[in-house]
Amino acid sequence: MSSKGKELKRRLKRTWATFFSRYGGLLPIQVKAIPAVLEGKDVMIVAPTAGGKTEAVVAPLSERLLQEGWEGLSTLYLCPTRALVNDTLHRLKEQLEELEISVAARTGDKPQFNEAKPPDFLITTPESFDSLLCRYTKAFENVKAVVIDEIHLLDNTYRGDQLRILLKRLRQLADFNTYALSATIANPEEVAKRYLRDFVIVTCEGVREIEYTLLKSMKEVYEVARRERLKKLLIFCNARKNVELTAKEVEELWKGYVVTHHGSLSKSVRESAEAFMRETNRGICVATMTLEVGIDIGDIDAVVLAEVPWSVSSLLQRIGRGNRRTQKCRVLAIWRTGGEREILKSMLEVAKKGVVEYEPYEPDLSVVVQQVFSILYSLKTGLDFESFWKLFDDFCSKDELRAILVNLEKLGWITKRVGKWYATEKLMNLAERGKIHSNIPDNVALKVVNTSTGEIIGEITLPVDPVFALGGKVWQVLKISDKVYVKPAKSEAQAAKFKQHRLRGAFYHLLPEELK
């Protein structure tokens, strides 16, 4: 063990055995991050999948909790999905309880929360955090640390914007440190500024080796798997429908051992698939991006890309799930056209260098509407304009905030009395039905029609680029109504947008017309 490792072992006198004794030492990212966490700094941690990021934060936070005698709900661990909440609880429960640190999860599936005796360590989603903060405000007065896992899945979306405001609301109640974790992020400093305060950035040098093979069909994947004796495969598709179609094809080739995982399946079915993959020595899981995040499904021999991923970031997340026993990712990628082959090759070569594409940040003002609703539901005594402005001052302009409040009053959602804004009965009724804490809209897809043939090519989501790639071809938009009408184009283009976070938030329709 290095001298730094020995020093940190001494500093983690109560938690070392629980978190690290089985490994005999620390991973590089842990050596870098643990001192900053122990010293009470905000930290952005960027390291490859399976790099030990969770333990790099949770172990030193647990040490501080025990040494400093934190009481009540002191650590809030935020995950982008319910599945990751459940998986994180599964991973940490035994270790934290061994240290006599109580831990619980709270989601829409697990709504129970005891305000009188909250857990020391709470794992939840941003939306459930919003609900809890409104209903059990006092329970959050002792929070000392907030951890944001897989922050790249939240940032630059209406969900990330909602979380930004929620953290500012929490800072009015408690003094805490913030920690953000990601495996794939292009601009860590810019992202950190949106969620953290006086922060340091900790990164891990080096990229896992990627060995990839480009194949024409699932049958060729089957042949390679037999030849290389690959027994556990994780196959990624972009859409839920394609998961089901691919699973049928895979079943015909492998004759069993096949499970599926996507957002339209029930929680019990998804968890059954996860458990099967954790416990089996031979199996195949066909999934959407629901398994891009760090859900434990055991070690995987190879990752199969059944479709071109949405982005290099998504690609890195997917292939990072493979073969964690070594520093090599075995990837089998399927192409159906020459264009797809070149795109996959380019993306994989970029991924080998560890490069992630940059996306410019754009705030979603629908979050202002959602948070006004949440705040006024929580504060029955109302709130004046300047107090609202303290929460939104780095998110929108004063004129935008004022216009939104006036419009919500016009629509009957809020009312103004003696210089303060209050929730109306209409808003309170909506809140009591639990409809104000999530800004996630319905996923509306538009069919794409080739005007030359009348053929429906596929479905995409808004916003639609003037020229986009879909089905291995490039299309130019002619008209958008209830469908997207296109014609073939010869220019280069990005893939059409499918990700739900590209949509505006659910409360977008309540913005003043001039702000839409």
pLDDT tens across 194-240, in order? 999 999 999 986 566 889 999 999 999 999 999 999 999 999 998 87
Q: Which of 348-352's residues contact partners 24+ apart within 8 Å by CB, and which partners?
A: 348/210, 348/212, 348/315, 350/312, 351/210, 351/312, 351/315, 351/316, 351/319, 352/207, 352/209, 352/210
Closest CA to 217 of 88, 336, 102: 336
Q: What are the residue ranges in the chain where pLDDT is below 50?
A: 471-472, 499, 501-502
What is the architecture of the domain spanning 209-352? 3-Layer(aba) Sandwich (3.40)
CATH topology of domain 3-203: Rossmann fold (3.40.50)
Task: Give me the pLDDT at residue 327, please.
Answer: 63
Residue with tokens 């870098």, as numbered in its chain: 32
For CATH 3.40.50.300, the residue range(s) in the chain are 3-203, 209-352
- Give CA 15 to chain center in angstroms: 28
For 233, list phi and psi in degrees, rounded to 5: -120, 145
**R_g over Cα of the chain:** 24
Residue 491 tokens, joined: 């220019």
CATH of segment(s) 366-436: 1.10.10.10
> What pTM, to 2 d.p., does this model score?
0.79
Task: Give me the pLDDT at residue 501, please.
Answer: 44
Question: Exposed, middle or buried, 26 (CB in 10 Å: 0-12/13-18/19+)?
Answer: buried
Peptide bond into 188 cis (omega under 30): no
Task: Give CA separation, 271 vs 242, 265, 281, 318, in Å.
Answer: 20, 10, 17, 19
Task: Give me the pLDDT at residue 471, please.
Answer: 41
Residue with tokens 């029609």, as numbered in its chain: 449
Is the separation of the CB atoms in 1 and 24 below 8 Å? yes
Task: Give me the pLDDT at residue 365, please.
Answer: 97
Task: Give me the pLDDT at residue 311, please.
Answer: 82
Residue 42 tokens, joined: 């905000």
For residue 450, the SS3 value is strand
For residue 386, the SS3 value is helix
Which runs of consecutive H residues, i.e. helices, occur in 178-217? 188-195
Round to whole Å and give the CA distance between 295 and 82: 11
Task: Give CA separation, 243 vs 213, 260, 271, 354, 502, in Å.
Answer: 21, 7, 17, 27, 21
